[in-house]
Structure 1
């Protein structure tokens, strides 16, 4: 007869689990089944550990999500290329965040609302605020602007990933409903814009929105001349 993995460990001794292993497995499960299917029990089964083992490392599911979000942001705060304007630097950072969230199924949902204090999350935020401080913004305004850029990026990516989840007959059906609702006699402006409304140029939508946001930031004042 075969023996179970627990028996093979001897007298039911609990399997040891490393936090990185749990985070990697949780992200894999989300890729395979979506965030809604991720539960502590499901993750514990995939790791072959008791649920209590997970709770020792992640007291709540929110703590697990924060650890997953921290892993998603790896590399986002890396040094920026030389020779970029401050607007280009901000665009690179926002693009890194979007790419990181898109790298995993439901990545934006995993990240939204988390409050990680890990080096990936804080490093990204520090780099972003640093660029804004270099423009001459005071710390409060730079921090509020950081939140605005992050919130725009996360909100856009939430919508983008939700739209990408519409597969098979769902997407054509949704587009048909929208086409039918856009009566040009009732909604002439939206009807004229139907190709854009029903398009899937998410890169274009993101770039356009980010450009609007960054254009709203004033250029830093020129350095004061010293009295001769």
Structure 2
């Protein structure tokens, strides 16, 4: 989330993560994993992100596919996909994608929607391992998601369930930008916003595919909020407070 101490921490722990933490992750909860994540969370100083110029703001745009909408009622994350963006530049070759182990049967509508199969999910790595690798990928970047309430609720639940630590990362919602630039537009679905901006919709309801579509939207609307005078995230939040 924009913090030198976090970068140094990641470098120092990189070898240990690959050998001990990730190796032990097959067993589910692990004290080393929890300690690593708690240390990472302690290094996060979200307020520093607020003043970074938008041209220099580094974000990880991410998306998750899930078995439903309510993690506190037993719904699980099935996959996570992400892509890095700096300012308005989308880094197509800096991506993250992983399925997450799920042993239970999938509802037919989830299988049809996501294209995921029970067989591939049963051999996927556990959630604890995938989330730690995702946090390592994200490093000092701010997180971004399309209508981020869904992602935030699942990440908060997973952080506490797996690591007994709160989820402290800032997640910026792309709708913040839409509301500033086009307040009269009431689209909700990702594909509707994409079509409105002449973005070709492909790989919809695939976590990485949706992350890439969201990144393209973020890039377009970030450029437009800059043209409206927003210099950083603080300006964006200030503008939102007056809408």
Task: Pick the structure with more helix per residue.
Answer: 1
Relative contact order (alpha carbons < 8 A, sep ≥ 6): 1 or 2 greater? 2
Greater share of strand: 2
- Normalised by the length of structure 1, the TM-score is 0.26
